[in-house]
């Protein structure tokens, strides 16, 4: 019984070790790990990610709440170009940016950077988390 368990465990480890895994650069991985609730600075605009989903398994679409409304950040899942390009869509306007134009503050640190910026502040209401100008 223990022999069977050890044999199956070794097979599992071998399959994991030899299996295909997606490998990306740290820059690409940083953008692909963005989750709802994370705060971003996109080309100087501070936003909060409210949703994420894949578009045709080619792009990660991040729905963001901005001071002016809602915007989308499209991150390619597989990118051969360096530096990685992302697409920022706000109010019908599309802007191509580099990954360096996107700063990420994960959920664990989410209130600190935004409240220090002086431009917008988080608030919670019956409609959820949003932004309002500092008073």
Q: How wide is the angle at C-alpha 96 spanned by C-alphas 94 and 98, nearest 5°?
A: 150
**Mind listing the pLDDT tens digit for each residue in 77-102?**
876 655 578 999 999 999 999 888 99
**Mind listing the pLDDT tens digit for each residue in 36-60?**
999 999 999 999 999 999 888 788 9
- The candidate with the shortest Cα–Cα distance to 120, out of 43, 47, 62, is 47
Res 71: pLDDT: 96
CA–CA separation, 67 vs 45, rounded Å? 8
**pTM, full prediction:** 0.61
Percent pLDDT > 70 in the chain is 68
């Amino acid at each position: 019984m223990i022999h069977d368990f050890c044999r199956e465990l070794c097979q599992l480890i071998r399959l994991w070790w030899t299996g295909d895994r997606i490998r990306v650069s740290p820059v690409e991985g940083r953008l692909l790990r963005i989750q709802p609730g994370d705060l971003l600075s996109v080309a100087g605009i501070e936003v909060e990610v409210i949703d994420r989903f894949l578009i045709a398994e080619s792009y990660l679409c991040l729905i963001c709440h901005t001071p002016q409304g809602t915007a989308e950040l499209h991150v390619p899942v597989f990118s051969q170009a360096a530096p990685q390009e992302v697409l920022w869509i706000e109010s019908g306007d599309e802007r191509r940016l580099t990954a360096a134009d996107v700063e990420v503050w994960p959920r664990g640190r989410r209130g600190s950077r935004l409240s220090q910026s002086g431009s917008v502040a988080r608030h919670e209401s019956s409609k959820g988390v949003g932004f309002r100008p500092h008073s």
